[in-house]
């Protein structure tokens, strides 16, 4: 897992972390993942997406509604939604 | 719609304790139902073995038995108190359905299905719709739930039944076929999962509560009853919807939320299925006890005195107690560990029916041909063996549930390593004398944030057994068994942590790990229940459970340790005829 070394999570840092996380799950290089493409296009199905959320929760030390990934199906959208949530609750 | 809150640190403290486990709604309805079922089981009654056997033989629906349950008022227990019913404690419904299942699984599956039909409305519907549905159920309406389709099985996201918004926003139009649905032909109302976004996906489906009485025969075409291996009398059929117009208020919750709602609803119904398996297990053991005590060998020895028969009966009894421990803790977890139900319900639904299938097979092996022919005059054992096979498939098969566990392995192994748990919830779920908090459907989650407190709490529970052994409040034998369970559970979690797989490529050995996880959960549940028991209770039943769990985990178990199984056999054989020892008897001090 990528290390958590930033206290403030910007959308940009989240995009980076999520891209690496997804790349690891899909066993492909991070630079082949396009953050604007729906994750389901990479074969990351809706149920599997929940285990990515579990890692994200542990990384950020927050609890999330796992369905956040269903409402924000790309890395870009998810990062933006997360950054907003974290700013609201931080 | 996303809630973000910091992880709450594990709460401490003990749950509020009430002197006796009487349901908050007043007197306990279970003994009354058991009495009523006994009355209805006399010769010629709708619950008699001959009447139910005859219906089964000709695949007839047990309408009279279902009507008798309606008259008793059982449907009220499918409706939450806030919507006008009597459901305020899921463990009460479980005991009620277990009592029915002890007599007949076809009746239990047919009657209990209304809860599955209604549950989506309870957890996500508008309050006025929930009150309306509660009233309909109280008046005797049968409610079904249509998820699966002919070509897609468990893959809900592949569903083709479609709902389009009608012109001008005046409701929806539903088209397509649902198939292999319990009660769909006889139901008055059906909850239907339909595609509302042509692109599909987890936000592409919605749930609708369809009132069949308002539709014409051109709009609905019931499909023929499907002949089944067991529960032959049940209405397992299908339905074609031909451009069926349903009003706007038929939509349950928000459009696009259907998959999320139903996955959460299944956390409850999968747990409820446990009641049917436990009832079938009770029935199987009581028939086996009766047969082995009355049948004799050629030299006049009672079969129950043969050492190998006694050992098999004891092993089956231990299997049922482990299944019961899992079921009791799981159903209490609906209230006390609601957010963990994605794990708990998957364990309960995968483990308990499989355990009961195993014990039925084990007994059948011991009884030999007598089990199928002579154990009773109405083929009851053979019928329950057939009937019970379906329970492992209802509401998500064992494979589906084990897959759900595997998807959470990373979280579960991290949680176990760090001891992350909800201590207060665990205490409430495993102390049968503790008053359960009201169930809050908003706390259901697709993914357990804490992991599984029952298993994460095992190491501390084993430490407690060691402490008790020092003061001789627990035997050294128990402490040794508990310690071996902890080590096996430690090793299992290391193996779980090492499981890595790309989407849709779950490795085969992960399913074997999931089965071992279920055993560790079951044994941990038994240990927690014993530690929180209210009065002096012989620890032999717990040792029997641990011996069985360790054996099934592949751990070496010695002959001396197996002798505890004979103690359980003696408890079974000396029980009042027609009854089977239960943790509820021992822990609550009451007869079921």
Q: Does A75 reside within a domain?
A: yes
**CB-count burial class (<10 Å; 0-12, 13-18, 19+) for B524:** buried
Contact A45 B411 (CB under 8 A): no
Is B4 a residue whose pLDDT tops 80? no
φ/ψ of residue B174, rounded to 5: -110, 130
Q: Does A44 reside within a domain?
A: yes
Q: Can you tell me the ipTM of this complex?
A: 0.86
Dist. CA B76–CA B521, nearest whole Å = 32
Q: Does A60 reside within a domain?
A: yes
Is A56 a residue whose pLDDT tops 90? no
Dist. CA A8–CA B74, nearest whole Å = 55
Interfacial A residues in 8-67 facing B (CB < 8 Å)? 25-27, 40, 43-48, 50-51, 53-55, 57-58, 61-67
pLDDT at B24: 46
Considering CB atoms only, which of A43, A65, A73 is closest to B504?
A43
Contact B503 A27 (CB under 8 A): no
Contact B7 A45 (CB under 8 A): no
Is B591 a residue whose pLDDT tops 90? no
Percent residues over pLDDT 90 in chain B: 80
Is A22 a residue whose pLDDT tops 80? yes
Alpha helices in B471-533 (DSSP H): 476-497, 508-531
3-state helix, strand, coil in chain B (%, to 5): 60, 10, 35
pLDDT at A18: 93
Dist. CA B592–CA B584, nearest whole Å = 7
Stretch B304-308: mean pLDDT: 91
Name which of B97-101, B296-300, B463-467, B487-491 the model is least confident about. Answer: B296-300
pLDDT at B457: 98
**CB-count burial class (<10 Å; 0-12, 13-18, 19+) for B565:** buried
pLDDT at B538: 75
Here the CATH number for the domain that contains residue A39 is 1.10.1200.10
* Domain, as residue range, for A17: 11-89
Dist. CA B113–CA B115, nearest whole Å = 5
For residue A86, the surrounding DSSP H or E stretch is helix A75-89
Nearest to B456 by CA among B499, B423, B495, B494: B423
Contact B4 A55 (CB under 8 A): no
- CA-CA-CA-CA dihedral for B47, B51, B54, B59, to nearest 10: -50
3-state secondary structure of B282: helix
3-state secondary structure of B393: coil
Alpha helices in B419-475 (DSSP H): 423-430, 453-456, 458-470
Segment B514-556, tens digit of pLDDT: 999 999 999 999 999 999 987 656 799 999 999 999 999 999 9
Is B439 a residue whose pLDDT tops 70? yes
Stretch B73-100: mean pLDDT: 97
Dist. CA A71–CA B533, nearest whole Å = 45
Is B242 a residue whose pLDDT tops 90? yes
Percent residues over pLDDT 70 in chain A: 89
| DSSP secondary structure string for all residues of A16-83 | HHHHHHHHHHHTS-GGG--TTS-GGGGT--HHHHHHHHHHHHHHHTEE--TTHHHHS-SHHHHHHHHH
Nearest to B282 by CA among B325, B316, B305: B316
φ/ψ of residue B286, rounded to 5: -70, -35
Q: Does A54 reside within a domain?
A: yes
pLDDT at B26: 61
Stretch B61-76: mean pLDDT: 98
**Residue A5 binned pLDDT confidence (cut-offs 50, 70, 90):** very low
DSSP-assigned letter for residue B252: E
Contact A43 B449 (CB under 8 A): no
**Residue B377 binned pLDDT confidence (cut-offs 50, 70, 90):** low
Dist. CA B380–CA B364, nearest whole Å = 12
DSSP-assigned letter for residue B447: S
Is B500 a residue whose pLDDT tops 80? yes
Is A90 a residue whose pLDDT tops 60? no
Dist. CA A64–CA A38, nearest whole Å = 20
Contact B2 A67 (CB under 8 A): yes
Q: Does A42 reside within a domain?
A: yes
pLDDT at B536: 57
Contact B502 A88 (CB under 8 A): no
Considering CB atoms only, which of B1, B447, B503 is closest to A44?
B503
Stretch B255-282: mean pLDDT: 97
**Residue B295 binned pLDDT confidence (cut-offs 50, 70, 90):** confident
**Residue B586 binned pLDDT confidence (cut-offs 50, 70, 90):** low
φ/ψ of residue B425, rounded to 5: -65, -40
Chain B nearest-CA distance from A86, in A, is 7
- Beta-sheet pairing, B220-223 with B205-211: unpaired
3-state secondary structure of B236: strand
Stretch B56-61: mean pLDDT: 96
For residue B194, the surrounding DSSP H or E stretch is strand B189-195
Contact A55 B446 (CB under 8 A): no
Segment A69-89, tens digit of pLDDT: 999 999 999 999 999 888 876
Segment B157-180, tens digit of pLDDT: 999 999 999 988 789 999 999 999
Considering CB atoms only, which of B5, B260, B449 is closest to A89?
B5
Other CB atoms within a 10 A radius of the CB of residue B231 amount to 28
pLDDT at B5: 35
- Beta-sheet pairing, B162-165 with B5-6: unpaired
φ/ψ of residue B143, rounded to 5: -120, 135
Q: Does A3 reside within a domain?
A: no
A77 at B interface, C-beta within 8 A: no
The residue that leads in pLDDT, A9 or B245, is: B245
- Beta-sheet pairing, B162-165 with B251-252: unpaired
Q: Does A51 reside within a domain?
A: yes
DSSP-assigned letter for residue B80: B
Is B14 a residue whose pLDDT tops 80? no
Is B125 a residue whose pLDDT tops 60? yes
pLDDT at B503: 79
Domains and CATH numbers, chain B: 29-141 (1.10.540.10), 144-256 (2.40.110.10), 261-588 (1.20.140.10)
Segment B16-35, tens digit of pLDDT: 333 334 444 468 999 999 99
Q: How many domains does chain A have?
A: 1
Is B256 a residue whose pLDDT tops 50? yes
pLDDT at B232: 96
Q: Does A1 reside within a domain?
A: no
pLDDT at B19: 36
Average pLDDT, chain B: 91
Residues of A in contact with B411 (CB under 8 A): 51, 54, 58
Minimum CA–CA partner of B443 in chain A: A65
């Amino acid at each position: 897992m990528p290390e958590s070394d930033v206290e403030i999570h910007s959308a940009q840092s989240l995009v980076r972390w999520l891209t690496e996380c997804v790349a690891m799950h899909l066993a492909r290089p991070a630079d082949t993942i396009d953050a604007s493409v729906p994750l389901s296009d990479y074969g990351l199905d809706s149920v599997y997406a929940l285990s990515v959320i579990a890692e994200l929760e542990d990384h950020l030390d927050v609890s999330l509604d796992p369905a956040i990934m269903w409402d924000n199906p790309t890395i870009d959208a998810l990062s933006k939604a997360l950054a907003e949530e974290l700013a609201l609750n931080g | 719609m996303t809630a973000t809150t910091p992880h709450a640190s594990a709460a401490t403290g003990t749950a509020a304790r009430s002197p006796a486990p009487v349901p908050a709604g007043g007197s306990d309805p279970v003994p009354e139902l058991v009495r009523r079922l006994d009355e209805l089981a006399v010769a010629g009654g709708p619950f008699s073995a001959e009447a139910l056997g005859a219906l089964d033989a000709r695949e007839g629906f047990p309408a009279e038995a279902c009507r008798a349950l309606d008259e008793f008022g059982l449907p009220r227990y499918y409706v939450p108190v806030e919507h006008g019913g009597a459901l305020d404690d899921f463990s009460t419904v479980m005991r009620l359905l277990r009592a029915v299942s002890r007599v007949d699984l076809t009746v239990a599956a047919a009657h209990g299905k209304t809860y599955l039909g209604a549950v989506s409305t309870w957890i996500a519907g508008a309050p006025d719709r929930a009150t309306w549905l509660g009233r309909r159920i109280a008046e005797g309406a049968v409610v079904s739930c249509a998820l699966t389709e002919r070509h897609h099985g468990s893959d809900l996201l592949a569903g083709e039944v479609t709902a389009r918004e009608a012109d001008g926003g005046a409701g929806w139009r539903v088209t397509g076929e649902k198939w292999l649905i319990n009660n769909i032909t006889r139901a008055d109302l059906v909850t239907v999962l339909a595609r509302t976004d042509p692109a599909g996906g987890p936000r592409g489906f919605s749930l609708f509560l369809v009132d069949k009485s308002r539709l014409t025969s051109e709009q609905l075409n019931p499909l023929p009853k499907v002949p089944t291996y067991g529960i032959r009398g049940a209405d397992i059929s299908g339905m074609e919807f031909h451009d069926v117009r349903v009003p706007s208020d038929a939509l349950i919750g928000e459009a696009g939320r259907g998959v999320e709602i139903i996955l959460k609803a299944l956390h409850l119904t999968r747990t409820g299925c446990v009641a049917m398996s436990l009832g079938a297990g009770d029935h199987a053991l009581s028939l086996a006890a009766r047969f082995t005590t009355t049948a004799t060998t050629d030299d006049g020895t009672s079969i129950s005195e043969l050492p190998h028969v006694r050992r098999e009966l004891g092993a089956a009894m231990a299997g049922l107690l482990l299944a019961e421990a899992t079921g009791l803790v799981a159903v209490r977890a609906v209230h006390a560990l609601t957010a963990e139900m994605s794990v708990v319900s998957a364990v309960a639904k995968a483990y308990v029916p499989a355990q009961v299938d195993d014990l039925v097979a084990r007994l059948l092996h011991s009884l030999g041909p007598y089990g199928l022919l002579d154990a009773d005059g109405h083929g009851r054992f053979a019928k329950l063996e057939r009937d019970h096979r379906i329970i492992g498939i209802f509401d998500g098969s064992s494979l589906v549930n084990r897959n759900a566990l595997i998807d959470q392995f990373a979280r579960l192994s991290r949680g176990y390593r760090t001891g992350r748990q909800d201590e207060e919830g665990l205490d409430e779920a495993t102390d049968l004398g503790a008053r359960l908090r009201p169930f809050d459907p908003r706390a259901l989650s697709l993914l357990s944030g804490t992991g599984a407190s029952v298993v994460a709490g095992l190491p501390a529970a084993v430490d407690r057994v060691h402490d008790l052994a020092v003061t001789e409040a627990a035997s050294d034998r128990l402490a040794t068994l508990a310690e071996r369970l902890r080590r096996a559970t430690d090793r299992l979690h290391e193996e779980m942590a090492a499981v890595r797989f790309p989407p849709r490529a779950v490795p085969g050995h992960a399913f074997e790990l999931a089965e071992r996880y279920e055993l560790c959960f079951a044994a941990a549940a038994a240990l927690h229940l014993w530690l929180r028991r209210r009065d002096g209770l012989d620890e032999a039943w717990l040792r029997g459970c641990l011996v069985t769990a360790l054996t099934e985990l592949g751990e070496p178990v010695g002959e001396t340790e197996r002798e505890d199984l004979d103690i359980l056999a003696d408890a079974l054989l000396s029980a009042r005829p027609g009854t089977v020892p239960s943790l509820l008897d021992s822990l609550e001090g009451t007869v079921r």
